[in-house]
Structure 1
Amino acid sequence: MELRYAVGTMTVVMRSLACITIDIATRYQTHYVYLLHPSYDPGDVLNTYKYFLNEINAKIYMKTLIKSMEDMARIPHTPFQHLHVIYTSDIDTHGLLMKISTSSKLSNRRWLVFLDSETTVKDFFADIHLPMDCEFLVAQRCLDEDVEFSITGVYHVHPTGALQMYALGNWSSGRGLTWIDIPMHHRRRDLQGIILKGAFIPDAPYVISRNISGRKPYDLSGFSLVFWNLLQELANFTLEYHIPEDNSYGSDEGNVSWSGILGMVIKKEVDVGINVFQLASHRMTAVGFLPPIFNSKVYVYIRQTDPTKKSLIRMLSPFSTGLWGAILVTISLLLLTQRAIFNIGVHFELQEETDCQLLDAWLYILGIFCQQGHRTIRLSWSSRLVYLTAYFIALVLLVTYSATFISSLAVSRQDLPFSTFEDILKDGTLKVGVRGKSSHEDYFKKSSNPILKSVYEKMIKPNTETQPKSFEEGLQRVCKESKVGFVVAQATFRGLMQNVPCTIVEVPKAYYTTTVSFIINGESPYKRLFAGLIQDMRRSGILRRIDTNFWTPKLEETLLEPPKGVTFETVMAYFVLLASGILICILILVVEMGCRKR
């Protein structure tokens, strides 16, 4: 038997309503279906809801529950996982919906309401605010023979704005549900020129402000502005900029209080944060994050050591100490072997005793390893074989030494006193700096790693009051002061390296990996829209293009460039050594001439 149920002044077929509910729930892969009824419901209406419950469970496997509209607080708030169905559109239902809309209970939920044919959608929702982050579907009877019900999506861009409507699909008993498959953030991407507030602090390379007048900054640029300008163009909105009083990113001040940009977003003084923020567990519980923009390693950066100070050491660095010792032993063995063969030859009159003195033999062997020749003398074949062996060994050593030595001149390698956070702690002479009230400071402060915790307590915390106010200032301190390191993301350093007056290098293993994005109030109705647009930018390659165009080339990219020439400063010590040798020779010559005159 076909049951009928009055929805307002309209009578509809109960089985059709059940089928519409089933089709929409299946379309969204819904976990739960909540059949909502007004609190005044009499028993016969409740029995009708039970009929729908049995009708749905008989066709698909999903959990269905009957709830009063006044019990919305007891329904789990799982974003867009449930379908909330309202089968009435009378005055009492309208009043309860209006009451629910004044709270946040509509947000991040999916709704389906059956509206009677005598009431227009605009009239029914005239005083009900439907936020952008709720998906509200209206099913209404049609007079068209081919279409029995039309499905319409409704929402408000702003509480004071006009109701926005768009067609989602149609339903008929013969063809079932036909749907317009367009993502939600595409249907709702036009914010109609509304003004959103954004908090920022000037901090290159992400936000660069060339003109700040009071609290009205103008002429902003930088990495973050590339994204926000694009989002403003895509979603048709305008940003109004504000600066926090403490000019900081913000940190947890205790007592559930936050400072800086974070505090302004959490307190809803602004809608979004313009600067990029590091994702951290203690932040994600307080503020909303948009999808990740990029990943980066956060290093400790220090000033590069002067390459000229270790030029002489570099002469010996191609070979290890053990290999140098083996070379000296080899030279000694060759000299002893040559002298033994020479003496045996003299004893058996194979060569004259005056042919090769001990001092000459020593100079000959040493000269061979320095790639020097010597005059031809009459030697036995056994002595010549010793020299031939020395030439072969010297040639192999020369090729090996030259390759390593030339590469050390062409490729700059740092001989750092430490390479990890543990080494920095053991050394104890480096002053580690971080940007004040930043994610980097919070990372060390809240870390469960005992080594990182010790770095904060011993090297960061004592200098909290004098920490730099920007990343650029911190890198400049590394150049101006001795024994200073600064913690900064590799991406940030790439954006600032051209503004740093000295050469700065990273401590190779003193780093941690982080992910950065933009922050938005967790209850903002525009969070889902911005998240969807950023995901579209990622899929279409826009994020990669922005990253490629904005940052300086990475190391693997610079390796493809033509090699740089060796500078005079790099080899200056060798010229000094050459000049010293010449001067010593002249001095010895003068002494010899003086002695001969006497």
Structure 2
Amino acid sequence: MLLSTARQTKMTAPNYTVTSILSSPYVMNKDGGGYKGFLVDLLEKVAEEVGFNYNIRLSKDGKYGSYSNGYWNGMIGEVVRREASIGLGDVTITRERERVVDFSKPYQSQTLRLLVKKPSWHPPGLGFLLDPFSSEIWLSILFALLLVAILFVVIGRFNPFEWRQVASDKDPRGARHSFGLRESFMFVFSTITLQGYRETPRSLAGRVLAVSWFIFVFFMVVAYIGAATAFMFAGQSMPSMPFEDLEDIVDHRQIQIGMVRGGSSFQKLKDSKIGIYQRVADYVEMQNSFVNSTKEGLERVRGRAGHFVMLMESLRADYIAQQLPCDVMVYGNSHFSMSLGLFTNQGSGLKQKIDDALLRLREDGTIHILQQKWWTLMGRCPVARVANKRQQTITASQATLRKLAAPFLLLLIGAILAVVVLVGEIVFRKLRQ
């Protein structure tokens, strides 16, 4: 009996034509036909509360509605001309629109935010161990290693006071073979990697060269550890954006700001008496960076490698940022405060009924549950964390030959001094003979 009464009530309830526009997650196509989304669910709840049936159809021109040449287009225009009774979409309540349609109480509030391409952040590869030093440093170290090893061979062979000159019967450890070609290279390789060594040079020239080499190795190891540590922490820090907000973009003029052509958001900027918003509106017009739809703007954000950003409604931007492939994010400060509402024909009396239904749905938590469903539960991407240009971030730069010239200069002086001492020791030995 109750089921029959409910069916009869539904059949006798008024039926309204609802004009809408596709806009994720508010109204979207559903597999198999029909529509789904936050506003579709909300309209269903409102219809149950008020007691009416409805038929959703998309706006003929696919626009929200703006006034131009004495004519309202989009959803607003269809409701004004009574081609539809209810407008369903993420439509901002403005003074101009309220003059021609009846807006309900707001079901959501939002601001303007920037939708940007996530900054690239590549993990260190196999070349991470080579990054702290520049190529010229590595080549210079290799040259120094070869030079010192060859000098040890020369000193070991020609210096009359070196181990090679010790008689076999007075050399139980075999030290006389410590500075041949193979042993000299082993000495410099082991010391530069802070390993032990078997014998130290016996002659004064060899010890001068060894001390110079040890000093050089000490400075190089300290410099490498310091640079590698900076690279390691820089790799773990947050990636940063080259700008902080709208003012930085307008001042530097290197990034385009996209906005939907004919939208209420741009008109808010244009009509604002705040200087930065007027500058942003002029900048968008000068760059002619308008897009015909949010979808087109999103494609340009993804395709312009950080040189194009979208200034758009925060709720829509939050939803897009939570969808795969997770390559965009919402960034910067919030601008303006805008309310979204359903709208009906002026004087139809339907506005008050929808207001009462929305108030009840807000009080019992239904609207909050629907927001959680379509924004939080539908999200597939982690929240992006980046630093702006004014935040402190750890940076790392390669050590260059100019920065580490002192250790190389000391080694060169030590090598020259070792050669001079070698010649002196040879002359001294001959004079004694």
Alignment check: 8 A CA contact 1:419 1:510 kept: no
Alignment check: 8 A CA contact 2:25 2:374 kept: no
Alignment correspondent of 1:298: 112
Residue 459 (structure 1) shift = 1.7
**Structure with the larger helix share:** 2
Alignment correspondent of 1:414: 240
Residue 354 (structure 1) shift = 6.4
Residue 437 (structure 1) shift = 2.8
Residue 460 (structure 1) shift = 3.8
Count of paired positions: 298
The AA in structure 2 aligned to 1:486 is M
Alignment check: 8 A CA contact 2:115 2:331 kept: yes
Alignment check: 8 A CA contact 1:191 1:237 kept: no
Alignment check: 8 A CA contact 1:200 1:241 kept: yes
Alignment correspondent of 2:359: 535
Q: Is 1:480 paired with 2:303?
A: yes
Residue 525 (structure 1) shift = 0.8
Q: Tell me the TM-score normalized by structure 1.
A: 0.43
Summarize the alignment of residues 11-410 of structure 1 with structure 2, pairs less than 5 Å apart. Answer: 192-209=12-29, 219-253=34-68, 255=70, 257-308=71-122, 357-364=211-218, 367-368=221-222, 404-405=233-234, 407-408=236-237
**C-alpha distance in structure 1 between counterparts of 2:378 and 2:232, whole Å:** 26
Alignment check: 8 A CA contact 1:494 1:552 kept: no
Alignment correspondent of 2:388: none
The AA in structure 1 aligned to 2:349 is P
Unmatched runs of 5 consecutive residues or more in structure 2: 1-8, 133-206, 385-395, 398-433
Residue 242 (structure 1) shift = 3.8
**C-alpha distance in structure 1 between counterparts of 2:283 and 2:67, whole Å:** 21
**C-alpha distance in structure 2 between counterparts of 1:526 and 1:474, whole Å:** 35
Alignment check: 8 A CA contact 2:16 2:84 kept: yes
- Of the candidates 447, 452, 463, which is equivalent to residue 277 of structure 2? 452
Alignment check: 8 A CA contact 1:479 1:502 kept: no
Change (3 A) 1:366 1:196: same
Alignment correspondent of 1:156: none
Residue 407 (structure 1) shift = 3.8
Residue 273 (structure 1) shift = 0.8
Residue 398 (structure 1) shift = 9.6
1:338-395 deviation per Cα after TM superposition (whole angstroms, max 9, x unaligned): xxxxxxxxxxxxxxx9698355235335535656xxxxxxxxxxxxxxxxxxxxxx8x
Residue 259 (structure 1) shift = 1.8
**C-alpha distance in structure 1 between counterparts of 2:314 and 2:219, whole Å:** 52
Unmatched runs of 5 consecutive residues or more in structure 1: 1-188, 213-217, 317-352, 372-393, 561-572, 575-598
1:297-338 deviation per Cα after TM superposition (whole angstroms, max 9, x unaligned): 3212222333249999xx99xxxxxxxxxxxxxxxxxxxxxx
**Larger Rg belongs to:** 1
1:411-467 deviation per Cα after TM superposition (whole angstroms, max 9, x unaligned): x43332x22222111222323222233222322232222332232233247638x62
**Structure with the larger strand share:** 1
Alignment check: 8 A CA contact 2:93 2:340 kept: yes
Alignment correspondent of 1:108: none
Residue 507 (structure 1) shift = 3.9
Alignment correspondent of 1:70: none
Question: Cα RMSD (Å) of the superposition?
Answer: 4.0
Alignment check: 8 A CA contact 1:190 1:235 kept: no
**C-alpha distance in structure 2 between counterparts of 1:433 and 1:406, whole Å:** 32
The AA in structure 2 aligned to 1:444 is L
Alignment check: 8 A CA contact 2:121 2:239 kept: no
**C-alpha distance in structure 2 between counterparts of 1:292 and 1:438, whole Å:** 19
Alignment check: 8 A CA contact 1:208 1:222 kept: yes
Alignment correspondent of 1:439: 264
- Of the candidates 491, 496, 501, which is equivalent to residue 315 of structure 2? 491
